[in-house]
Chains A and B, each alone.
Chain A
Amino acid sequence: MVVQAIRKATTGQNGVGAFILQCKRLDFHYCDWAGSSKGMNTFLRNSLSKFAAANPAVEITVSPRPSRHPIIKGTYINGREKAICVRNLTKEQILQKAELLRDANGEKLKKVTKPVKSINESVRGVWSPYHDGGIHV
């Protein structure tokens, strides 16, 4: 007897029922000594708690990365990572970068020309000359 897979009735589409944020983790790396980390250190001191409280779905880790520039690294559900170097940026700019990583979906950037993407079948079907009442000659 041949084992047959059960056909899936529907495909999972994030956001149609439940919504899961694509960004699952944000790593904040800083350096205690370097001046390029100044803004990052200020951000971690002052704004991180609010940012973390506002985004409970994102795991946030803070760890030093000595003698390197500060970075924010986002890890996504699709397995990809995005890292942004935030050297010499101010607290507000770093917050913007963190929001950018949170809002991203982890995919590579692509040029999109058509605004609507669909996996559904066409609602009205393919046009057929035999079913459209015909042409009266």
Chain B
Amino acid sequence: MLSRTIRRSILDTRVPTSALPPTFLLPNRARYFNSTTQHVDTPPESIYISQLATSPPAEAAETVTPVRRPIRPKVPLPPAPISEPVALDASVKELLPLLAAQPSHYISAHIHAKPYLVTAGDTVRLPFHMPGVVPGDVLRLNRASSLGSRDYTLKGTPYLDERIFECRARVMGTEAEPMRTKEKKKRRNRRINTVKSKHKFTILRIAELKINSLEDIEGSGTESV
């Protein structure tokens, strides 16, 4: 259940337009005609409450969102905005600008509870085939356990608040491994069973890693309150 929650929450289509190429370069429309159907459940509200300490997501907002085509498979909607103000520690308030000022950053982003230590521009081969995504899709990774630069590291307990950073990954495509064959042999029996397997993996590329400024973080919290 947890994995589904994350899977749903990282799929984010709200991308700043400046970061995007012209629309004809985006094969996003391919999603509407895909053979793989998506089986994404709406996560129960309790998880949001317990883990992110937020108010229940506005279900009304989700239902209002117009569905463009009836044949379009169900696409998970972006997570509801968090209305609680961020409770930042004084030390964090002091050191976060210093961390952001350093030239390069890394993040330990979690996908399906597995950490990936990445910087901007890295390629991640996920150990599974993510259903319902097509090349060109942008996912927002909102679960991270640590964020750092050369001299500073911000550690989450166990996770960082998702308003502190913005990490986006682009789906590059699907890769497969070479066919694996495994011979299964029992003793005193000449029968050999050969098992073949060939798994598919989704490839992501970290398109953006940005640390939000303190005003943005606190502003977004107070704004909606």
A19 within 8 A of B: yes
Q: Are B119 and A21 in contact (CB under 8 A)?
A: no
Question: What is the CA–CA distance of A105 and B148 in the complex, to the nearest angstrom?
Answer: 32
* B2 on interface, CB distance cutoff 8 Å: no
Partner of B105, one of A99, A111, A123: A123
A135 at the interface (CB under 8 A from B): no
With contacts A103-B134, A109-B178 taken as known, whether A124 is within 8 angstroms of B117 at the C-beta atoms is: no
Interface digits, B167-199 against A, CB 8 Å rule (1 contact, 0 not)? Answer: 000101111111000000000000000000000
Q: Is the CB of A95 within 8 A of B35?
A: yes
| A14 contacts chain B at the CB level, 8 A cutoff | yes
Known contacts A111-B177, A121-B104, A123-B105; is A19 also within 8 Å of B26 by CB?
Answer: yes
Partner of B116, one of A53, A99, A104, A115: A115
What are 17 residue pairs bridging A and B, where the CB atoms are less than 8 Å apart in the complex?
Answer: A15-B172, A16-B208, A18-B25, A19-B25, A21-B173, A54-B29, A55-B30, A57-B24, A100-B174, A102-B30, A102-B135, A103-B173, A116-B122, A123-B104, A123-B119, A124-B150, A125-B150
Across-interface contacts of B150 in A (CB, < 8 A): 123-125
Q: What is the bound-complex CA distance between A34 and B118, given in angstroms?
A: 51
Closest residue of chain B to A125 (Cβ to Cβ) is B150
Name which of A15, A109, A110, A121 has the most chain B CB atoms within 10 A of its CB.
A15
Asked if residues A120 and B175 are in contact (CB atoms below 8 Å), the reply is no
The 7 closest A-B pairs by CB, nearest first: A18-B21, A54-B33, A103-B174, A15-B205, A15-B170, A118-B122, A103-B173
Q: CB-CB < 8 A to A56: which residues of B?
A: 24, 27, 29
Grouping DSSP codes into helix (H, G, I), strand (E, B) and loop, the A interface class, with mixed when no group exceeds half, is loop
A107's closest neighbor in chain B, by CB?
B175
Determine if A105 and B177 form an interchain contact, defined as CB atoms under 8 angstroms apart: no
Taking Cβ atoms with an 8 Å cutoff, the residues of B that contact A are 19, 21, 24-27, 29-36, 104-106, 116-127, 134-136, 148-150, 170, 172-178, 201, 203, 205-208
Question: Secondary structure of the B side of the interface?
Answer: mixed
Instruction: Give Cα A89–Cα B21 distance, bound, in whole angstroms.
Output: 37
A residues whose Cβ falls under 8 Å from a Cβ of B: 13-22, 50-51, 53-58, 92, 95-96, 99-100, 102-105, 107, 109-112, 115-121, 123-125
Residues of B within 8 A of A118 (CB): 118-119, 121-123
Name B33's contact: one of A18, A53, A109, A123 (CB within 8 Å).
A53
Check if A19 sits within 8 Å of B178, measured CB to CB. Answer: no
Quote the shortest CB–CB distance from B81 to chain A (angstroms).
Answer: 27
Inter-chain CA distance A17–B19, complex, in Å, is 6
CA distance A95 to B37 in the complex (A): 13
Which residues of the other chain, A, contact B203 by a CB distance below 8 angstroms? Answer: 105
Is B104 within 8 A of A15, CB to CB?
no
